[in-house]
Amino acid sequence: MRYPLIFTRTIIVAFLSLVPCAHAFEPLPDKAPAPADNPQSEAKIALGKQLFFDPRLSLNGSLSCNSCHNVMTGGTDDRPVSIGEAGQKGGRNAPTVWNSAFHSVQFWDGRAATLKDQAKGPILNPVEMAMPSAEFTVARIKSIPGYVEQFKSVFGGNDPLTYDNIAKAIASYERTLITPNSAFDRYLKGEKNILSEQAKRGMKLVTDIGCTSCHTGINFNGPTSLPLGQGFYQKFPMFTNNPYIKNYKLDQDMGRFHVTGDAKDKHMWRVPTWRNIALTAPYFHNGSVPTLEEAVRVMASTQLNKKLNDSQVEDIVAFLNSLTGEFPEQTLPRLPVTTGNSPLSGN
């Protein structure tokens, strides 16, 4: 049975009020689980990293996965919406790729169940990387001898360089993009003096006012135990009697409804992570809100029907800042090259 969202939130908040607020959260693991059909290996991770940074996976050879999900920063492109093939703009803000291995579904609307499924989408999207087909993509990568040898070594078999294996390799690299040991993680592990008093007030406040009815678990975006493919969705915006709706055009995108066609999914979204949120402005599905302080005010008003004072906003922002983790060093990979011809010729 699918209970009304407000009823569900009320029950969860009531439960959380019975336990210390930190119990709603869990520290981020150092490693993400890998699916049985795509085990991790150093060679596969290295191959996936090359593909993640390789602009030859885009039609005109100018865009890579990293163009929109920059792992040298917070895993986004800092734009309201990304710029794709021929200067086209996407319709939604690029989510961070950091810690995305802990999502139970991918994309804002949950249309991909796994990292592998997600990796397949942008390459063929005509607004994004704009490759005309999976077959075209495979043929281009097969024209690069270094990739042919690597796929043979990593995957084996008679025909290892497939679109599915391209996505598997990218997903394997993305599974390493984890930012553990934030100040809050260290607090949960026993370093009780690592958080400022302001951050501790913010931690208590997000539980007291109901934020943790959605933002909980290891990734602060829902129950940790959800199986892959089962998303944790919430309606946004919930309350529309405020100026934020019009100012930031928050209700113009129907969200998951575009995937399912089910009226119950209008304005339903995968709950976004709070991990490293201080580094991923601008905010929300349309990237319309420029600052974290304003995002906190918007969420309180649209989701909880509450108006926060400046002190409360500052406390919550201090807590959110404590969720910035340690970023593993990223270096640009050397990409396999061709001799005497270009894989982009004839496109």
| pLDDT of the residue at 11 | 38
Among 5, 81, 1, residue whose Cα is nearest residue 265:
5
Copy the structure tokens of residue 85. Answer: 């093939």
Predicted TM-score (pTM) of this structure: 0.92
Q: Which amino acid is at 65?
A: C
pLDDT in single tens digits along all 347 residues of the chain: 333 443 334 333 333 333 344 446 889 999 999 999 999 999 999 999 999 999 999 999 999 999 999 999 999 999 999 999 999 999 999 999 999 999 999 999 999 999 999 999 999 999 999 999 999 999 999 999 999 999 999 999 999 999 999 999 999 999 999 999 999 999 999 999 999 999 999 999 999 999 999 999 999 999 998 999 999 999 999 999 999 999 999 999 999 999 999 999 999 999 999 999 999 999 999 999 999 999 999 999 999 999 999 999 999 999 999 999 999 999 999 999 998 889 997 66
- Is 128 known to be catalytic? yes
Report the binding-site residues for heme c.
65, 68-69, 211, 214-215, 299
State the architecture of 42-174 in CATH terms.
Answer: Orthogonal Bundle (1.10)
The catalytically annotated residue of 128, 293, 294, 326 is: 128
- Domain ranges for the chain, please list them: 5-28+179-321, 42-174
**Which residues have a Cβ under 8 Å from the Cβ of 264 and sit 6 or more positions away?**
2
Q: Are 335 and 53 in contact (CB under 8 A)?
A: yes
Domain 5-28+179-321: top CATH class:
mainly alpha
| pLDDT of the residue at 329 | 96
25: phi then psi, degrees, rounded to nearest 5: -120, 165
CA distance 112 to 119: 9
